[in-house]
Amino acid sequence: MIEDGTGLFTIGELARATGLTVRTIRYWSDEDVLTPVGRSPGGYRLYDAGSFARLELIRTLRELGLGLAHVRAVLSGEQTVAEVAAAHVAALDAQIRSLKVTRAVLSTVARRGSSAEETTLMNKLARLSAAERRRILEEFVEETLHGLDTVDPEIRKRMLATVAELPDDPTPEQVDAWVELAEMVQDPAFRAQMRRATEFNAADRGPDVPPGASLWFMKRLVDLVGEARRRGVVPDSPEADEALRGVLGDADPAAVLARLDAAFNDRVARYRELLCVLKGQPLAVYAEEFAWLAAALRARVDR
């Protein structure tokens, strides 16, 4: 306290009492966060006893990471500490999500030995906002289903449910999956392929076909072909005829093969696999069963 009977303190005295540096207190004063109550005859800033409490609050808020604008708002009464804390929590959550994506991207780059160009693309796609990522997938689904009102409702529902999000705390594998999926669904050739498969589904459904029939067919296919494979039945053998009859009935093998090539090829299987990785679900693409069926059909079409 300066010895003039005013009960005021200099910056140096505040610094010694609080453990803060003179430079820090002067900076906060220059930024109008800690306002002096007057000046000495020599022009030095002076503070009163209330400045100590104000200074402690400033230090606490700064140590919690709040910017000077928020500190100023609290001290002026424009915002409460609770309001500022809630806003800061939201900002920290966004920062944490960004850091988690950065960590996952860097882990992927390190694991894959990515080139500079691949790293740039990966970072760009991974940092798209949730709304931008959703828009990419929604546009893909909309183009695939547009105008095809007779598509199996269960297939439509599953397509709409494939708008998968990159998790807030993604693994490197999920970053990989998202980047590959984003590139895939924006590829015109893949979009055309998925559209063709969906058109086949729409064309196959008559007015009396119940919802979910397509899924029933796929389950029956997986079960019957899986059983044939477990018994060691070769696709082009006479023994395979029984499995084919159980799956296809009297359907034309060439027509079924065309639909199978459109809907269950390697690229579509990879698309489904990427969705499973993103959603953290077990892989269930049944690529080997579909490959066996395609080989069996092709052997009979080529005879």
DSSP string for 222-271:
HHHHHHHHHTT--TTSTTHHHHHHHHHTT--HHHHHHHHHHHSSHHHHHH
pLDDT band at residue 1 using 50, 70 and 90 as cut-offs: very low
Q: Mind listing the pLDDT tens digit for each residue in 232-241?
A: 888 888 887 7
Strand pairing category for 9-10 and 45-47:
antiparallel
Q: For 163-172, what is the mean pLDDT?
A: 71
Quick check: 84 and 66 in contact, CB under 8 A? yes
Return d(Cα 108, Cα 302) in angstroms, integer: 45
Q: Give whole-number Cα distances, 262 to 198, 233, 255, in Å.
A: 9, 25, 11
Q: Give whole-number Cα distances, 137 to 71, 163, 194, in Å.
A: 42, 6, 13
Residue carrying the six token digits 């022009």: 43
Question: How many whole angstroms from its chain centre is CA 269?
Answer: 21
Q: What percent of the chain has pLDDT over 70?
A: 80
pLDDT band at residue 243 using 50, 70 and 90 as cut-offs: confident
Q: What is the pLDDT of residue 6?
A: 61
Q: For 202-219, what is the mean pLDDT?
A: 64
Q: φ, ψ for residue 244 (rounded to 5)?
A: -65, -40
As given in the structure block, the two tokens for residue 32 are 């109008």
pLDDT band at residue 190 using 50, 70 and 90 as cut-offs: confident
Quick check: 145 and 157 in contact, CB under 8 A? no
Query: 200: Cβ–Cβ under 8 A, 6 or more apart, which residues?
Result: 258, 259, 262, 263
Residue carrying the six token digits 């100590």: 52
pLDDT band at residue 100 using 50, 70 and 90 as cut-offs: confident
Quick check: 206 and 140 in contact, CB under 8 A? no
Instruction: Give the alpha-carbon dihedral of 257, 263, 264, 267, to 10 degrees.
Output: 130
As given in the structure block, the two tokens for residue 28 are 């906060």
Question: How many whole angstroms from its chain centre is CA 34?
Answer: 43
114: left (phi over 0), alpha (psi -120 to 50) or beta: beta
As given in the structure block, the two tokens for residue 40 are 């000495």
Concatenated DSSP letters of 44-82: -EEE-THHHHHHHHHHHHHHTT--HHHHHHHHHTSS-HH
Mean pLDDT of the chain: 77
Within 10 angstroms of residue 8's Cβ, the number of other Cβ atoms is: 20
Quick check: 267 and 181 in contact, CB under 8 A? no
Q: Give whole-number Cα distances, 102 to 25, 138, 169, 177, 181, in Å.
A: 36, 25, 10, 15, 19
Q: Give whole-number Cα distances, 182 to 13, 142, 171, 177, in Å.
A: 61, 15, 16, 8
